[in-house]
Amino acid sequence: MTETEIEDARQPGTIRIRLAAPRLGPATLAALALIIVSLVFKAHVLSRSYFIEDDFLFVGDAHEHGLTWDYLMRVHKGHLMPGALLLVWVVSRAAAYNWFLVCSVMLALQAAASVGMLVLLRRLFGGRTGILIPLAVYVFAPLTVPALSWWSAALNAVPLQVAIVFSLAAHVRYVQTGDMRFAWRGLAWAVLGMAFSTKGVFLPFVTFAVTTAYLGPGGGWVRSMVRELRARPRIWLAYAGLLAAYAVVYLAQQGTAGDEGAGVPKTDVTAGLLGWMLGKTFPTGVVGGPLNWGGLAGTGGLADPSSPMVVSAWLTIAVVVALTCLYRRHAWRAWLIAAAFVVVADAAPTVLARGRYTALVGTETRYVADAALIVAICLALAFLPLRGEERALRRPYPEIMPLAAALATFVVVGMSIASITSYGRTLVVGDRIRAYLDTARASLASAPAGAQIYPRPVPDYAVLPWNGERRLTSHVLAPLAGDVLRASMRDPRPTDKPYVIDDSGRLVGVAKLFGYFDFLKEGCYPPKDGAVTFPVESQGGPEAVGALSYTSERPVTVEVSLGAVSRRVDLPASAQNRLVYFPHPGVGRGMRVTAPDGLCLKAVAFGAVVPGP
């Protein structure tokens, strides 16, 4: 890019201004082409994916809460992520369960991360062709694709990658120019990263490590750290204050996590988890693997690299590390930064959060998605001299090195594309969930006026049972309904014609209650002390429903008591047997029904609703 030129046009009062025009060199054009191609492959994978699991919980929460402190600052499964919850709220309120909108937002963020990586590489190394290697390693990294294809994971992973590259790029410009504006921009990007992912707390440490390892005047690394703290105390004190403030807020909000937060890991689970994550998933992922995906989960395949793939990955990593350390001065620092990040920022939090469940967690690439970016940055630092860096190499690279590096990158990108493509074929649940959601949307749109829709769990393939009440239709599907119907779904009234949404998404009548049932062929239940008691046992909750069959010459109100909860139910007059359903959240044993004069109680049921045909 040329400098702006101001030229006197030799006419009184006239100045001709020539503005600089951007000139994209071959390396930059090739880099942009790589980014576009990688986005095409990722868009194809997203087209095969769909909402699942936590996505439904997030959308339901967004429609049940306003933009309050309690909503934004709650800890979800160990994550404090107000930025992610804000994004969910905005997108879900704009169009609930619109996969095209979600994909567009996530692809835009992924494009921003990729372009940010290019900006960072250009600021560090200039427009040389060598930057294409680490850029290609990142934009085609299979480790990042499963996290992108699951919205709940992408909400954390993708904005964090955006924050990492732009925060580092801003800080690099600050070191190069001394302009404090860029330092504060880097800090602001770090704040954004923390707002979307708890892993954002490690970004200041990465920034400090890169700065002291490569951006200083040289010398020993420890001496460079001391010199950096003395030379720029304001910015590093600001980062320290940010980390302290985040820690205070996180600890203050820990009570909102319930039993989903961190816990004491089990030794055997931890060993297996780390063996998979650090021994197989991560090393194969950074060289284009795993190629094979197995153990299908609802969110897609789990990394299942073959033994030859694992061995080849470790050999490749060993060769790259050895060669860079042999030729590039201080290359070992970059690899130490990468290794520390994988262990401290990825492995340790995963063990604390999931180390008491199953070792298969180590096969999920989303836990090391951000490591692909850090490794690509460190690969560049270990391989390429910085702009203006003197004595960057211990000895000149062999003449064959550029060709060998290009061929190796070509192989890695080829395997990456194969891994991404094969992963896309594991996304087999999306069509089933899409059909369920489309049917539910249409059913709710045509629901009768005044319909009372009782809650029941959505299918297991959409949301797993351990999510409790948050997997009920009253939470998951209510965002698809209008305001009046949504209120009915969340707090249905007693009715003789209740509806439920079945496992195909259709709105149907209730066939029966599964649980307790008692009836009389003749006569009425005789009251004792004005009430009839039935041996009902209930765990409570919004799924618990009672039903009374009766006749009455006049309208009456009965009181149904269970545990510490009593509910009044208005019963219209009915000369013929009439069945009325009513929700009852009481917990305990023994259901007591008052029997006003004129009421003939014929049958009682209590339990979970069963959809009709």
H-helix or E-strand containing 557? strand 556-562
Averaged confidence pLDDT in the chain:
91
Question: What is the DSSP code (8-state) at residue 453?
Answer: B
Coil, helix or strand for 348?
Answer: helix
Angle between helices 132-139 and 401-424 (to 10 degrees): 10
pLDDT tens-place string over residues 118-128? 999 999 999 99
Token pair 């262990």 is found at 343
Instruction: Report how far residue 431's alpha carbon sits from residue 437's, in angstroms, rounded to the nearest whole number.
Output: 10
The band of 13, judged by pLDDT with boundaries at 50, 70 and 90, is low
Pairing verdict, β 293-297 and 300-303: antiparallel
Residues 6+ apart with CB under 8 A from 482: none
pLDDT tens-place string over residues 220-263? 999 999 999 999 999 999 999 999 999 999 998 887 766 666 66
Instruction: Report how far residue 540's alpha carbon sits from residue 548's, in angstroms, rounded to the nearest whole number.
Output: 18
Instruction: Report how far residue 119's alpha carbon sits from residue 125's, in angstroms, rounded to the nearest whole number.
Output: 10
Nearest to 297, CA basis, from 97, 48, 505, 52: 52
Beta-carbon neighbour count of residue 594 at 10 Å? 20
Contact between residue 463 and residue 429 where contact means Cβ atoms under 8 Å apart: no
Q: How many CA atoms lie within 13 A of 251 on its CB side?
A: 6
Structure tokens at 259: 């039993």
Residue 9 scores a pLDDT above 90: no
Q: Span 353-363, mean pLDDT?
A: 84
Structure tokens at 412: 């890695």
Instruction: Report how far residue 371's alpha carbon sits from residue 136's, in angstroms, rounded to the nearest whole number.
Output: 15
pLDDT tens-place string over residues 28-37? 999 999 999 9
Q: Span 461-488, mean pLDDT?
A: 92
Cα separations (Å) of 318 from 117, 125, 321, 322?
Answer: 25, 24, 5, 6
Pairing verdict, β 507-519 and 574-583: unpaired
Torsion angle of the four alpha carbons 521, 526, 530, 534, in this order, in degrees rounded to the nearest 10:
-60
H-helix or E-strand containing 568? strand 565-571
Coil, helix or strand for 579?
Answer: strand
Residue 368 scores a pLDDT above 50: yes
The band of 2, judged by pLDDT with boundaries at 50, 70 and 90, is very low
Nearest to 301, CA basis, from 313, 309, 291, 288: 291
Least confident of 201-215, 434-448, 518-532: 518-532
* Number of helical H runs and strand E runs in the chain: 22, 15
H-helix or E-strand containing 578? strand 574-583
Instruction: Report how far residue 83's alpha carbon sits from residue 163's, in angstroms, rounded to the nearest whole number.
Output: 12
Q: Span 436-458, mean pLDDT?
A: 95
Sheet strand arrangement including 556-562 = 531-538, 588-594, 556-562, 565-571
List alpha helices for 479-572, DSSP H: 483-490
Cα separations (Å) of 355 from 277, 362, 546?
Answer: 12, 10, 41
Coil, helix or strand for 53?
Answer: coil
Residue 8 scores a pLDDT above 50: no
Nearest to 153, CA basis, from 19, 61, 281, 54: 54
Residues 6+ apart with CB under 8 A from 239: 187, 190, 204, 207, 208
Contact between residue 250 and residue 75 where contact means Cβ atoms under 8 Å apart: yes
Instruction: Report how far residue 286's alpha carbon sits from residue 446's, in angstroms, rounded to the nearest whole number.
Output: 50
Question: 599 — alpha (psi -120 to 50), left (phi > 0) or beta?
Answer: beta
Nearest to 419, CA basis, from 524, 287, 317, 315: 287
Structure confidence at residue 11 (pLDDT): 53
Instruction: Report how far residue 342's alpha carbon sits from residue 372's, in angstroms, rounded to the nearest whole number.
Output: 9
Structure tokens at 46: 């997203």
Q: Span 96-103, mean pLDDT?
A: 96
Nearest to 92, CA basis, from 441, 442, 447, 479: 479
Report residue 485 CA to chain centroid gap. 29
List alpha helices for 16-150, DSSP H: 26-48, 54-64, 69-72, 82-94, 99-125, 132-139, 145-149
Q: Is the pTM of this model over 0.85?
A: yes
In sign, the C-alpha dihedral spanning 381, 382, 383, 387 is: positive
